Structure 1
């Protein structure tokens, strides 16, 4: 069954613009009910694959990584056919999920600055994903699901269509982490930052700046998701604070099984913390692993089997 594959029109628009959607996975009431239950379960980190107490206690972004490896709902979510079939329309049949993470925005939070990600070496300067040498592009397919409402006033995503085929940043340069950096930085009248990093440190041309006049805002209802290349120029609005509700996005990231994940790395160093990869593994969500390049997990740390091909 492939009822969720991108249509030829949708695929053409994706190739041209770098994103597709939004698509509905859960109805808003279902999403609210599921999240009300799961947010309590996620407080229990005893089965998380990452047990770095410093990163967790500091509440850095790295503490949000890969909860699909221990939480049953998130394990099911990353393998939902509504997501996976659309991703395989782009990447082919053999696909792994290599990372998931939460992106919260609280009332009054600044927006996320414009950025692209190819190898995800932006923080430490060491590639976290590497495509085969004969490929003309890299990056990952990002599936961003709204667990709560995402509007312009509550910090929804922004894209600059068509920017996914040219990198404006050199990730090998690395960035200096400072939790105070970018605070109250004003760019074109918008407060923006990047979780303690200044993405401008990676610019190939120091005098270049994104053409924000071409930006589009991606408002999503709870339970909807958007698919985009990580190399697409993307950002988020700030949270205006007119509501006390947090905006929460959950991201799952996919690459072909041929891509090397965390090559030659035994830990991740980002956001002022570090976590060991000893218990980490990718999840095969479609097709076969014909390459044997990455460690694959078949069950969560709590014994729940990962679904493949929608089964």
Structure 2
């Protein structure tokens, strides 16, 4: 290794040490956060400065509005919006947004319930017996290195696992989504969530444009944040109940995005981050979502959700989340590398693309890719992700 290479390695290690020290030192983190937000506020207030700073800084100023900056600065870095603020009004009517076969049609009461509570379920994708039969093939494929990212991961396996794609393209799911989101749908993200016996709780959290992934900028760029532009579906591959950590929702909490107390002593854990959501969460608002294998729940990520510990001794809890958008929602902007800050992981987006799940691409704002058609899987280390 040459002198220049050694110097670069040393500098990279030093920067990493500094970042880790700031993350682990509460006072240093708060000082750094406050100074950073003051700098972003200055750039946001003086438009000519935006032409003089790197693209990342411009996107930072674009993604953080004045209320977000005010909260971070006046709290000395301890009170941060968990995502971009937005509201979620009711639609003009409770009529479905797409025409579907009668057997998949949602009633007006179901659509109203979704908007009142922020979630709808459980609904059935397939029988319990069929899911038990299918899940072994799904697991065998997911154990293989991702063709999208080049390593074993539970992220976006709908892009390269035929068994996953064959499962989710069914009308039992797509036709119900279309009635809430519209006739044209794109699938942009999926994630495996595995909670083994003894795994801890996942604290209450919510999202709108997934700004929390990179921290400085949004992941999704809708034309209007205050409309319903994305839905998440959590599909149960195992039977799930309170004992092994079923999903929980705070009904009615999807109307606004809340601030979070970062580093709160009484906060909970989400991946590698510790915080406490500043929201009115009472027992009468908490809804458990037990499901049989083969069932699913549709929800807005704005609805506060989490899960209790897996208190069982011999029952895992395996599910997968699938995130669907309107075609007009831009994903990832122009970046080719995506850093998930709270996991300290980075993904190359060179092989990523959104997939048309239903209808057509009537907007043309996203890179598209074809779903997998066939493939085989053998064994490897199982992909793990912080459970939700």
TM-score (norm 2): 0.66
| SS class of match (1:26) | coil
1:256 and 2:355 aligned: no
> Any stretches of 5+ residues in structure 2 without a counterpart?
1-99, 377-388
- Please, what is the CA RMSD of the aligned residues? 2.4
**Pair 288,41 (structure 1): closer, same or farther in 2 beyond 3 Å:** closer
1:293-304 correspondence runs (5 A): 293-300=365-372
Match of 1:116 in 2: 206
Deviations 1:215-250 (A, max 9, x none): 0100011111011101001010110033x1210111
Distance 2:134 2:308 in 1: 26
Deviations 1:157-201 (A, max 9, x none): 11111111111138xx9x8xxxxx99xx866xxxx421111244x
1:228 and 2:306 aligned: no
Deviations 1:271-300 (A, max 9, x none): 121110000011111122111000111232
Match of 1:127 in 2: 218
Distance 1:143 1:230 in 2: 10
1:169-180 correspondence runs (5 A): 169=259
Deviations 1:199-219 (A, max 9, x none): 44xx5x5xx563344101000
Distance 2:140 2:372 in 1: 18
Match of 2:386 in 1: none
1:37 and 2:137 aligned: yes
User: 11, 22, 27: which one pairs with 2:122?
Assistant: 22
Match of 1:194 in 2: 270
Match of 1:210 in 2: 281
Match of 1:91 in 2: 181
**Pair 151,7 (structure 1): closer, same or farther in 2 beyond 3 Å:** same
Higher helix share goes to which structure? 2
1:145 and 2:245 aligned: no
Match of 1:275 in 2: 347
| SS class of match (1:292) | coil
Does the 8 A contact of 2:213 with 2:219 survive in 1? Answer: no
Larger Rg: 2
TM-score (norm 1): 0.81
| Larger relative contact order (Cα-Cα within 8 Å, sequence gap ≥ 6) | 1
